[in-house]
Structure 1
Amino acid sequence: MAERNQCLAGWMARHQMTAGELADAVNDAIAVFAGRRGRIGERTVFRWLSGENRWPQERQRRALERVTGLPATALGFAPRTRKESDVRRRRFVGVVAAGTTAALPLPAASAAGPPRVGTGDVIRLREALDGLAAQDAAHGGHGLEHAALAKAAEALALQQQSATQRVRQRLFALAAAFTATAAWSRIDAGQLDGADRHLDRALMLAGLAQDSEREMQVWNLKAMLARQRRDYPEAVAASRAARATAIARRSPLHASLAHARTAVGLAHAGDTRAALACLGRAEDTLDKADPAQPRAAWIAFYGPAELYSLTAIVRDLVGHPAQAEAASHRALAALPPAYRRNRALITARLALAQLHQGDIEHACATSGRVFTTMAGTPLPGRLRQTLGDFQRELIARAPARIAAEWSDRHRIEWSRP
């Protein structure tokens, strides 16, 4: 029995691509270098996935590599035995000698009909979205607004051209994601004016795409925005709207994030019992999530480390600073190295939890690690706000000399643009 090609299946799942869409993308790629579209269908893709076809024809491999940006071997394909390859090579040479020229590069103008927007365009834009997510993880979301809005406009311009309905919906979904990223850029920078406008537009685009994943992304950001504005009832309502989306109803990962976000809003609102109950539900549902399941770039950050981080916030807000400190340590231990901005934020909150326990010297030392973590990178607005909270509480709780020394020591790093 043939072994299923898990590598190709995983790539398709990450890019939310059906067998028919991959076939279309490969056919379009063949047209680029052969002058006419290929003719493979879903059946061929199913044979690749099942392992029945372990080494596609050369033209198909070349097109697959163009579509995915990966070598065929990284997609789970294995070259045939030498005997099989020799037989097929002799057949191929015979066909070429007979006068077949389909494999020769022809000018793009020889392809019939106007250029068509297809899955390749969707993949290209999704890779750009992943690139913005990587920048956010490393440096923070501030500064991404202009690039994100430009890509949203590109996606919307493409969907007005010749494309299938499925491709149009995906382009609407990408436009929603880029617009939400623009909103996040303002939120992370602490520039809250204008974020609402981006989020309302992103929610409309997600509706046109009929994409509940994007709808949840927007509601999650609306909850964060409302919390920064100290509108805690709206933060809780937005979190509950995120929990009501179709993706959260069927995905434990998404449901866990919605519960955790609700817990933070309730803790800020002073409802300790409800906040801790939501936190418990977030933990229970995350235990049911499959960590190996492919996920969209916007929620790639969420997992045990982020839940520990949100737990630390909730525990500190409800008056459990020792538990908040423990959760922060767990978050830092579990956090992947790529999330530098998140590491700095968790460290700042750890310092707050230590300060709330009266461990002033330790808290000052911990807070200094924030600047070390973000060395060479401007501090995002949200991180500045957290450090501002620390400074105000340090002034209120510590001797004036210690607070002044802390401010003097970090004034340069803090003021760096």
Structure 2
Amino acid sequence: MTRDTPHLWTEQKLDARYENLFGRAAGYLPENRAALDAWLDDFSRDVHERRARNAIVRHPSVADLARLIERDRIVRMYVSRMINEAHQRDCKNTVNDIPDLLDHLDCIVTSTPKYQGPTAFPMSALFTYLMMTTDGYAVFRDQGFNKALLGILREWCAHLDSKDSQEVLNQKNGWLSPAALADKKLNLQDFQINLQDPYGGFPSFNAFFHRELRKDKDVRPIDDPDDPRIIVSANDGKVVRIRRDIKRSDEFWAKGQRYSLYDMLDGSDLTDLFVGGDVFQSFLSGGDYHRWHAPVSGVVRSARVVEALMFTELEHTSGRDAGTESQVYGASVNTRGLVFIECPPPIGMVCVMPLGMTEISSVTLTVQPGDQVTKGQEMGYFSYGGSSMCLLFQKGAIEKFFPKDNTGDMEEGDPIKVNARIAQAVGDEA
């Protein structure tokens, strides 16, 4: 791999790279880089002030990462070089050294996202410039480093599950404030919220994040509930890619949005059922509904979570579809759920694959093998973090898809809503 010359990374090149990041397009990072730099500056100032007061507490998960870096010379090399390379490129507000990185992570573990801050995804922000480096690409794929980050995310998720995270939900300037209730990106009128309670009836931030739809009003009606040919969306979001005639194995790391079934399905015995079939991928932005539902009716034959990578992007991508290409790559390497649903002919087996991206701490499945699910039934949810969704269908099962394939960047994808029709199977109407 050829290293970029640090001084060639101009402000214009950094802006172009930032513009094409998945996190920016998905709303996990600010729309412009200046806002990212402002957030990093404020956050780093807070870290340095806490350090001066000896107020930084080393959390168990961050201590585990520190021990890994100390004992694993290869990880230590990658981490040291990515920090140095970011500084050589004159990226603003990067961490100074390994102890500084650990202190920043310690402060994140007990932080809670605030409404309308410059960014609500602190680890994505902290890692932005570091991940743009040659060694950053490498270390975020290292299994040991990734496992340590997973531990940090789980400890942070425990904080977000606790009452300590509740205050940001206040109705004055928090996630339930008048401004938030009017925010069209959140569409809070669609959800179960008790405004008679100071915190909307939510015991924690995560409870708010994966909030449930209203039960007194059908805000996500199921399209054609009695027609088994109609397949509905498993989630809210936008279309990433629709691909047909998928190969069993392919170079998922290559440009061109290639899907590799064997890698996506983690070597499952059911892989060959989907050879030559179709993939429908969509992504969920930070403000979207973060529960997912059954796209079809059938019996759950297998359900499990594959723990894998979280902070990783496809290398050597540029242009307006770079973020999209990284999502297709992520379908083969990121943390994901695999739920196989067996349906009557002509649909056959369907795989519902929720993908964890960036700050994902929990892909939670609420179904298990043997369960009978009906179209539109809830099947699981994401706790705080980025996310994407793939639906896989057998060869010849799908007659047509209703949304358009996305030929540009993620922001141009067709919007979809959970329970709305996305595809029609072959055959006659029931």
- Could you state the TM-score of these two structures normalised by the residue count of structure 2? 0.29
Larger Rg: 1
Query: Which is helix-richer, 1 or 2?
Result: 1
Query: Which is strand-richer, 1 or 2?
Result: 2
Higher relative contact order (CA 8 A, sep 6+): 2
- Could you state the TM-score of these two structures normalised by the residue count of structure 1? 0.30
